């Protein structure tokens, strides 16, 4: 460790945020950053534990705690404290393809498993997430991040279908190994979930373009508006490439089944977020190619990250009100006894969208144990909803979601955004390759493998594991790339 007593001398100090009422005026990233000296102090807090739970990715009760990438966190914290910035970047990039993405959008599984979080609670954990972002951004600013073009090419060609975090990780890893990689993306811009699924204020799209440009210089080819299974056939890829990696995400949203849900003004959250981001990038929102919520009442079905992103987006667009409905009960403020460290803490958090709603409207937008029972229409358009409180009960030995009698309530609504999770991958691309799907709608593979049921076809990310985190998609992309390399070469040194 860089400083033996760092964790005693320095208190945790995370990056700050621009105040809510100021940041909702635009779609820019809204964090403020510590200066170099303060960041060095935060790195000094890392204890270089004998068992660094932060990087262990242990599986506890079916849930993984710690970093899925197995990042060498104590090593690069030590280098950061010693101002060995190139060393810190080298060790960080050894296990992580895109720290500039995870340093912005990852919920920091590593910090929740930090040994200091065990001793002093989550507010005492090392600022791993912020340190990671500092290291990679300094590496770009200093010129350390230069194209690394393979000196020898293997002659093998790989097609990667989908340019989200998993697809980019597969492409980046295999390209550095010396294979020739082409990425096919059905949208007009590269990035998948990173580009159109995450709002600009969480991840500025210039950050994605910077990485994509670097990958292009290193030899990766990108093809946009390429919808494999529609305007590009699976047969074409199987004929022209030695391996194909399917990384199309889990983009089949769970629909709203309430009466009246066919009304105009009921949208999937992912479609809404994409339309806003695309309009922002294309015209700074001047083309009107999105659902304008200015002065409107918005109901969001779903209390997770996507719902939170919708809340922040709607507030920036000038909505009259925003309400998030969540079927589950409100989480506790502190860890329950059956949720000990280093498990992921199942506690209440107030994310940026909720913070902004509290600042603008004076209330937390989230309403728990509640769902939509009916959608009201006027001339085919949404004009309101009937909500009902719900709870899980054991009925004839089975856990079922039940309505609470007498809890119905009517709310005004001009737009309903459905952010109720996903049902797996959209089938047509997978079906065009003839691969088997699981009952969860993901591409089937043998346990511990990324190989699909069709010869020379592989899969990774949400299309393989279901809806998950960006960090898990990158981790799967790296592992999938290694399996492809071994398939092509008979061995792998990745």
Structure confidence by residue, pLDDT tens digits, 155-210: 999 999 999 999 999 999 999 999 999 999 999 999 999 999 999 999 999 999 99
For residue 231, the 8-state DSSP code is T
Instruction: With beta carbons less than 8 A apart as the criterion, state whether 65 and 53 touch.
Output: yes
| pLDDT, position 343 | 87
For residue 122, the 8-state DSSP code is G
Task: Pick the closest to residue 473 from 128, 98, 53, 57 (CA basis).
Answer: 98
- Bridge partner list, 245: 160, 458
Q: Which two tokens stand for residue 313?
A: 């987006």
Task: Pick the closest to residue 187 from 169, 165, 162, 167 (CA basis).
Answer: 162
| pLDDT, position 51 | 87
**In the chain, which stretches have pLDDT less than 70?**
57-64, 119-120
| pLDDT, position 48 | 84
Helix, strand, or coil (residue 117): helix
Q: Where are the alpha helices (DSSP H) in 109-200?
A: 109-112, 115-120, 128-142, 165-177
Distance between CA atoms of residues 171 and 454, nearest Å: 20
| pLDDT, position 118 | 81
| pLDDT, position 197 | 95
Instruction: With beta carbons less than 8 A apart as the criterion, state whether 335 and 347 touch.
Output: yes
Instruction: With beta carbons less than 8 A apart as the criterion, state whether 277 and 240 touch.
Output: no
pTM above 0.85, yes or no: yes
Distance between CA atoms of residues 223 and 221, nearest Å: 7
| pLDDT, position 60 | 62
E-only strand ranges, 345-480:
366-368, 370-378, 381-395, 398-403, 409-412, 415-418, 457-459
């Amino acid at each position: 460790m860089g400083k033996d007593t760092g964790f005693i001398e320095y208190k945790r100090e995370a990056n700050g945020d621009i105040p809510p009422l100021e940041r909702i005026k635009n779609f820019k990233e809204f964090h403020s950053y510590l200066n170099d000296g303060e960041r060095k102090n935060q790195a000094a807090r890392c204890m270089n534990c004998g068992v660094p739970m932060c990087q262990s990715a242990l599986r506890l009760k079916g849930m993984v705690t710690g970093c899925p990438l197995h990042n060498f966190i104590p090593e690069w914290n030590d280098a950061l404290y010693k101002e060995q910035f190139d060393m810190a970047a080298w060790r960080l990039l050894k296990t992580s393809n895109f720290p500039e993405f995870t340093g912005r959008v990852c919920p920091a599984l590593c910090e929740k498993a930090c040994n200091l979080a065990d001793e002093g609670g989550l507010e005492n954990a090392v600022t791993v997430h912020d340190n990671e972002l500092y290291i990679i951004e300094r590496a770009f600013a200093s010129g350390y991040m230069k194209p690394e073009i393979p000196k020898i090419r293997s002659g093998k060609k790989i097609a990667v279908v989908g340019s989200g975090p998993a697809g980019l990780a597969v492409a980046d890893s295999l390209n550095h190994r010396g294979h020739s990689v082409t990425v096919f993306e059905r949208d007009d811009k590269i990035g998948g979930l990173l580009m159109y699924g995450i709002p600009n204020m969480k991840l500025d799209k210039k950050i994605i373009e910077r990485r994509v440009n670097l990958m292009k210089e290193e030899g990766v080819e990108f093809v946009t508006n390429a919808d494999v299974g529609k305007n590009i056939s699976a047969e074409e890829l199987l004929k022209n490439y030695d391996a194909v990696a399917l990384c199309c995400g889990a983009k089949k949203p769970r629909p709203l089944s309430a009466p009246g849900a066919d009304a105009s003004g009921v949208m999937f959250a992912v479609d809404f977020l994409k339309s806003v981001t695309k309009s922002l990038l294309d015209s700074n929102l001047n083309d009107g190619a999105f659902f304008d919520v200015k002065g409107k009442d918005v109901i969001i079905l779903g209390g997770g990250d996507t719902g939170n992103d919708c809340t922040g987006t709607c507030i920036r667009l000038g909505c009259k009100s925003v309400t998030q409905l969540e079927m589950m009960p409100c989480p506790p403020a502190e860890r329950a006894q059956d949720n000990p460290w280093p498990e992921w803490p199942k506690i209440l958090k107030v994310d940026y969208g909720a913070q902004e709603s509290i600042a603008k409207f004076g209330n937390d937008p989230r309403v728990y144990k509640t769902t939509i029972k009916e959608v009201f229409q006027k001339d085919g358009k949404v004009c309101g909803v009937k909500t009902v409180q719900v709870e899980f009960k054991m009925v004839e030995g089975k856990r079922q979601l039940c309505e609470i009698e007498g809890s119905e309530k009517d709310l005004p609504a001009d737009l309903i955004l459905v952010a109720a999770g996903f049902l797996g991958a959209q089938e047509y691309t997978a079906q065009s390759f003839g691969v088997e799907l699981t009952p969860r709608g993901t591409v089937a593979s043998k346990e511990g493998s990324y190989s699909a049921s069709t010869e020379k076809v592989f899969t990774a990310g949400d299309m393989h594991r279901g809806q998950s985190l960006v960090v898990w998609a990158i981790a799967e992309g790296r592992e999938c790339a290694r399996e492809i390399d071994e398939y092509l070469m008979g061995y792998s040194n990745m």
